[in-house]
A and B are shown apart, each in its own frame.
Chain A
Amino acid sequence: AQSVTQLDSQVPVFEEAPVELRCNYSSSVSVYLFWYVQYPNQGLQLLLKYLSGSTLVKGINGFEAEFNKSQTSFHLRKPSVHISDTAEYFCAVSDNQGNNDMRFGAGTRLTVKP
C-alpha cells in the first residue's frame, strides 16, 4: 500500500512570507496526490490535486504544488501567506487502481504570525 510522510509537523511563518510544506510519498504504482486544508473545528477541504499531466498544480487560495516523480514528492507552496492561512494541512495519496485506499499524512500545522 502507499504511504505519505509530511516532513514538518509545525511550520511557523510571518505574514506575507513565502511558505513550503513538504510531502513525500511511497507507492509501487502510479498515484494521485492531494492536499487538504483543515481550519480549526472544521472538516477537511480539498486544496488541490494532481492526477496527471502538468506537474505544477494550482489550487484555491493562491496555493500551488509540484509533483516530482523522481523524488516522490508533492510539496505545497504559497508565495505570500496571510493570517487566514493558519490551519492544518494534510497531504494524501491514492493509487490509480480504482480502489478506496487513500492514505493521509500526519499533517502540518501552519501558523502565520503578524
Chain B
Amino acid sequence: NAGVTQTPKFRVLKTGQSMTLLCAQDMNHEYMYWYRQDPGMGLRLIHYSVGEGTTAKGEVPDGYNVSRLKKQNFLLGLESAAPSQTSVYFCASSPIAGGHPYGQYFGPGTRLTVL
C-alpha cells in the first residue's frame, strides 16, 4: 500500500514551458486535491475532484488545469509556466468530502522551479 505518490519529485521549467504533474493513490478514495505550498502562506487549494471524471476549482485555480480520467489518478497541468508558479505542489486524497473525519492523505510533494 503506497498511499499517495507524486511524479516527478523535482522539476525545473523555463517560462512558457508546459508540464504535467501526476498524482496516484491506491486507497480507492473518491476525493483528490491539488495544493500549492508557498513560504508563509500555508497550503492553498488549486483544484479538486469529487470522483472520476469530475473536477472543480479551488482557491487559486488560475494558470492550472486538471483531469481525473481514472479514479486513482489526478493530473495537474501547467500549460504555460510562469515564475509565480514556482512552488511545492502537494496532492492529497480522502475517502469523503473535505477529508473529515479522517483528514486528508498527502503525497510527498513536487518541487517546481520556473525560471
CB atoms of A34 and B43 under 8 A apart: no
Checking B41, B50, B102 against A100 with a beta-carbon cut-off of 8 angstroms, the contacting residue is B50
CB atoms of B97 and A100 under 8 A apart: yes
Closest Cβ–Cβ distance, residue B58 to chain A (whole Å): 8
Checking A43, A99, A101 against B90 with a beta-carbon cut-off of 8 angstroms, the contacting residue is A43
Contacts of B42 in A (CB 8 A): 4, 6, 90, 104-107
Checking B43, B44, B98 against A98 with a beta-carbon cut-off of 8 angstroms, the contacting residue is B98
Interface size on B, residues (CB 8 A): 28
A34 and B107 CA atoms in complex are apart in Å by: 17
A100 and B29 CA atoms in complex are apart in Å by: 14
Contacts of A4 in B (CB 8 A): 42
| 5 nearest A-B residue pairs (beta carbon) | A43-B106, A46-B103, A104-B42, A104-B43, A44-B106
Interface residues of chain A, those whose CB is within 8 Å of chain B, are 4, 6, 9, 32, 34, 36, 41-46, 49, 51, 90, 94, 96, 98-102, 104-107
